[in-house]
Amino acid sequence: MALLTVCTGTPTIRVRDNRGQAVRTLRYNRNVAGGVATQCIERNTFNDLGQPSSSQDARFFAQGGNSPTLNFQHTPALSGQVLQTVSADAGTTQTFHDIAGHPIWQRDARGTVQTFTYDAQGRPLTRSEQVEGKGPTYVRERWTYGDALPPGGSYDATDTTDPRNLNLRGQVVQHYDTAGLLDHGARGFTVQGPVQQEVRTLAQDPQAEIDWNAAGLATHWPGVLDPTPYPTSWQYNALGQVLAQTDAAGHQRNSTYDLAGRLFGSTVTLKGGSPQSVVRTQTYNAAGQLLVKQAGTGVTTTHTYEPQLTQRLLTIKTTRDSDRATLQSKQYTYDPVGNVTVLQDPLSQPQYFKGQAISPDKTYTYDALYQLIQATGRQNATGTPTDTGTPAGILSPPDPVNLQSYTRSYTYDLGGNLTGVNLNGAGANRKVVVAPNSNRALSNANIPTLNAGAVDTYFDAAGNAICLDGNSLQPLTWNGLNQLQSVTFVYRHDQNSDENDREYYIYGGDGQRVRKTRYAKVGAAYSQQQDDVIYLPGLELRRQGATKTLEVLVLDDGARLLHWTVGAPAGIANPQLRLAIQDRLGSCSMELDTAGQLITQEEYFPFGGTAVLAAATQSDVDNKTIRYSGKERDATGLYYYGFRYYQPWIGRWLNTDPAGTVDGLNLYGMVKNNPASLRDHAGLVGEDGNR
């Protein structure tokens, strides 16, 4: 009832012009029942052709003045395509299109120019890039099709290796990108369209400037690529569903489906080994929602849902088949619009810490715009993290003597920026300082005297942070597509010095991370060690210098099979199957072994920091890579979502949204400040966690 009282008299009103376009959107907000509602006005303008001209959020609208700040200003062509966009967050970008509507020239706020070429059918051939102040133009991507001649090549109708003679016409056979080469030509494609095999070849040097210019086909290109190929192959049924996948290490996954085409079961087989069940059976309701999942490890997870209209998830319960012991139980309560208000744990009983009852339940309170303003729960009493790491103490099992309650309160400005976190005595309160003319913001943790006017100096012209949380000793660099390129962990000399401990990130043509390389000084000799993570379909290759190589098989629904080929740690089974138990947001709350025994247990603060962590050993924690929202957390404390990196300690993204305004005018905001109810799958837009 509290939220109903807070929301009383807070409608959303849209004012439309005589063309039906919304020129004003009025929202009303309060966070205390009976308080005066704050009016939030969003303003949009359109030109004479009805094309969007500008947008202004409630924060900038409230500033007023003769020249108020605008979130966006658009300059469209007569065709309606936008030629120039001026963004308060991302700076000025310009795009020219050809007569078919394809972009042929782009320049971002950093001065980086992208140019594109196409064939007669409008298919992309090359993407070239020139970074302002960094030398010549480089061909960053090149596409070759089954019906096209390779650069400098000739056609021979009798050549059985020519993709044009292998039924590959119209398909992308080779895609050279900044990670190396992705080749689809070995086995071609099925009738339904999916590729039957792809071979990823990486660039030898993760720091090299990639240039796939045609002149270097015979001389330059062979030396760029590493000689080791990574092939992945698939087999499909008549519906195009994957029946079998063989990864680059030779391990195989097999899947079965029910009559409705939904996943029913799956197995994994290590190279040269015997099949191991991952999912024994899965059953669904009439709406296609998962009801019961019986894992091959002897663990059963059941789900219940609200009936008919909402079909929201109500409960998740995990039991061990051997003794029917309940391992985890979660029960969700929602308000009328679907916000999670209570997450109960019927399995756990309240504990006591210094005379205070410690409830295992979590509660969430919202303002009238459905932004989270207060959360309660429990956390480790010692070793409490700062949202960038895990608690110092590893508990096995969760120690009730080491748990305490927390209450976190959150404040926001009219633009949807998180401006403060009150930790209720459990550590220092956190203040987020927002720039006056943009949504760029920093925590004051590293800069206690930070003023709003200086915030923009910690970002480049395109809105990318130039150092981690304002720490100039942890500089960040970005590639020409505004993807995070490197992070310095330990700063010893100038930013580009090999003496620094640093990490590099390489991306494929689809924008997803393909490689992570870390250089660090280690050991008594203080020698430099290179660690690599290579991301392949269904497989992660994790190499720690020359002493450890770990193959992580990514299986269904968060399960992972860890297989050490070099340097297996003591006390851990090799291979080790880890079954991930996830909540409605995809966060990994528990990992179980093949006997249904606990490996790790973790609880999270609403915006992503670790609140409670339990494990048998530190090694168990070190080998856990998937955490909040089902994403990988890097050594920086940043979560990698696919298209962006997330800062859980201030509840915002590291750079602007590459998808533009799909999630609102604030290009840094995380799931509209409702992390208990919404989730972001790829770093682009928040969605209902029930989906």
Do 434 and 440 form a contact (C-beta atoms < 8 A)?
yes
pLDDT digits (tens, 9 = 90+) for 432-449: 999 999 999 999 988 999
Peptide bond into 397 cis (omega under 30): yes
Q: How many CB atoms lie within 10 A of CB 609?
A: 22
Quote the DSSP letter at residue 619: H
Q: Which of 11, 39, 72 is the last residue of a domain?
A: 72
Residue pLDDT, tens place only, 536-553: 999 999 999 988 999 999
Rounded CA-CA distance 583/581 in Å is 7
Pair of tokens at residue 116? 């594109």
Q: How confident is the model over 460-479, as pLDDT tens digits?
A: 999 999 999 999 999 999 99
Q: Which among 179, 211, 236 is the end of a domain?
A: 236
Does 667 score more than 70 pLDDT? Answer: yes
Q: Which residues of 218-228 are buried (b: 16+ CB within 10 A; e: fewer)?
A: eeebeebeeee
Residues 22 and 160 placed together within one structural domain of the fold: no
Residues contacting residue 519 through CB under 8 Å, at least 6 positions apart? 498, 501, 502, 503, 504, 528, 529, 530
Q: Establish if 405 belongs to a structural domain.
A: yes
Nearest to 528 by CA among 502, 550, 506, 549: 502
**Alpha-carbon distance 214 to 216, whole Å?**
5
For 466-532, the DSSP string reads SEETTEEEEEEEE-TTS-EEEEEEE--SSTT-TTSEEEEEEE-TTS-EEEEEEEEEETTTTEEEEEE
Cα angle for residues 634, 638, 640 (degrees, 5° grid): 75
3-class DSSP string for 645-688: EEECCCCEECCCCCCCHHHCCCCCECHHHCCCCEEECCCCCEEE
**Domain annotation covers residue 263:** yes
Pair (224, 314) in one structural domain: no
- pLDDT given at position 437: 96
**Is residue 421 domain-resident?**
yes
Is 82 inside any structural domain? no
Domains of the chain: total: 3
Q: What is the mean pLDDT of the chain?
A: 91
Percent of the chain at pLDDT > 90 equals: 77
Tell me, what's the pLDDT at 496?
63
Tell me what the mean pLDDT of segment 352-363 comes to: 84
DSSP state of 395: B
Tell me, letter by letter, the H, E, C secondary structure of 10-75. CCEEEEECCCCCEEEEEEEECCCCCCCCEEEEEEEEECCCCCEEEEECHHHHHHCCCCCCCCEEEE
Q: For residue 50, what pLDDT band results from cuts at 50, 70 and 90? A: very high
Q: Is residue 618 part of a domain?
A: yes
What is the distance of C-alpha 681 from the center of its chain? 6
Give the residue carrying structure tokens 């590293």: 446
**Nearest partner of 434 among 449, 456, 461, judged by Cα:** 456
Q: In this structure, is residue 306 part of a structural domain?
A: yes
Asked if 232 and 246 sit in the same domain, the reply is no
Structure tokens given for 646: 């997330």
| Domain end residue (candidates: 23, 47, 72) | 72
Q: Are 639 and 586 in contact (CB under 8 A)?
A: no
**pLDDT over 90 at 389, yes or no:** no
User: Do 350 and 486 have their domain in common?
Assistant: yes
List the beta bridge partners of residue 284. Answer: 290
**pLDDT digits 0-9 by tens, 77-100:** 988 899 999 999 999 999 999 999
In tens, the pLDDT along 288-325 reads: 999 999 999 999 999 999 987 899 999 999 999 999 99
Which pLDDT score is estimated for 476?
A: 97
Q: Most distant CA pair in the chain: distance in Å?
A: 85
247 plus 208 within the same structural domain: no
For residue 220, name the pLDDT band (cuts at 50, 70, 90). confident
In a shared domain, residues 96 and 40? no
Range of the domain at 670: 241-688
Closest CA to 435 of 463, 456, 419, 414: 456
pLDDT for residue 392: 46
pLDDT of 158 reads 82
Residue 79 lies in a domain: no
Same structural domain, 123 and 182: yes
Specify the pLDDT at position 663.
95
Render pLDDT for 238-288 as a digit per residue (tens, 0 to 9): 999 999 999 999 999 999 999 999 999 999 999 999 999 999 999 999 999
Tokens read off for 22: 């919304």
pLDDT at 490: 84
Most trustworthy range by pLDDT among 145-159, 607-621, 635-649: 635-649
Structure-block tokens of residue 472: 């100039």
Indicate if 222 and 310 belong to the same structural domain: no
Q: 260 and 361 in one domain?
A: yes
The Cα–Cα gap between 75 and 389 comes to 44
pLDDT of residue 164: 72
Measured distance CA(500)–CA(203) in Å, rounded: 22
Tell me the DSSP string of 292-318.
EEEETTSEEEEEEE--TTT--EEEEEE
314-344: b (≥16 Cβ within 10 Å) or e: bebbbbbeeeeeebbbbbbebbeebbbbebb
Q: Looking at the structure, tell me whether residues 126 and 273 fall in a common domain.
A: no
Q: Which residues contact 439 (CB under 8 A, 6 or more apart)?
A: 88, 89, 415, 416, 417, 666, 667, 668, 669
pLDDT tens digit string along 137-177? 999 999 999 887 665 567 788 887 777 777 788 899 999 99
Q: What is the reported pLDDT for 426?
A: 52
Rg over CA atoms, the chain: 26
Residue 78: inside a domain: no
- On whether both 130 and 57 belong to a single domain, the answer is no
Domain containing residue 640: CATH number? 2.180.10.10
Query: In this structure, are strands 632-633 and 639-640 parallel, antiparallel, or unpaired?
Result: antiparallel
Q: Is it the case that residue 556 has pLDDT exceeding 90?
A: no
Strand, coil or helix: 405: strand
Confidence band of 134 (pLDDT split at 50, 70, 90) = confident
Global pTM reads 0.94
CB 535 within 8 A of CB 517: no
Q: Tell me what pLDDT residue 394 has.
A: 47
CA torsion through residues 212, 216, 217, 221, sign: negative
Q: What digits encode the pLDDT tens for the residues 486-528?
A: 999 888 776 666 778 899 999 999 999 999 999 998 876 678 8
Q: Is 215 helix (H, G, I), strand (E, B) or coil?
A: helix
Local structure of 606: helix, strand or coil: coil
- The answer to whether residues 308 and 382 belong to one domain is yes
